[in-house]
A = this chain, B = another copy of it.
Amino acid sequence: MTITLTAARTIIRTAMEHGAEAGMKPLSVVVLDAGGHVIAFERGDGASPGRFDIARGKAYAAVMMGMTGSALRHRAEAQGYFVQAMNGLFDGRFVPVPGGVLVRDGSGAVIGAVGVTGDTSENDAAAALAGIEAAGLTGEG
């Protein structure tokens, strides 16, 4: 199973609406496939220009490691050299904080990841989960 463009649009729109309704700063949202490649991305008006890189770095780290942003942050805090090693390995596309959320299908298989950035890491993750749920998929942040 793969994430269709229609599903990716639903994820992005819902995550952005979730953020606006909750009074968050402008969000930027990326949807990656199971290989870490971009399906869709949108940057909210007023967000800083580096937001694509940050959103993708969160989602890319999650999907390439098969770990959530929360788990990656825990490991980054416990092992300082871990982030350095992963950065070298994945050519810099590695941001180990919440807001990188795995997407699973009904059987539990990882079919992609969503990356959200713009507000606090915890709020970013909540917006991602709202979007994934609206698309009928299961998120793990």
* A interface residues, Cβ below 8 angstroms from B: 4-5, 8-9, 33-50, 52-54, 57, 63-67, 76-77, 79-85, 87-97, 109-110
Contacts and interface: CB of A to CB of B under 8 A. Distances in A.
Contact of A80 (B5, B45, B81): B81
Question: Do most interface residues of chain A lie in helix, strand or loop, or is the interface mixed?
Answer: mixed
Contact of A64 (B41, B50, B76, B89): B50
A34 B5 contact: no
Q: How many copies does the complex hold?
A: 4
A42 B33 CA distance: 12
Contacts of A85: 57, 76, 83, 87, 94-97
Nearest to A6: B45
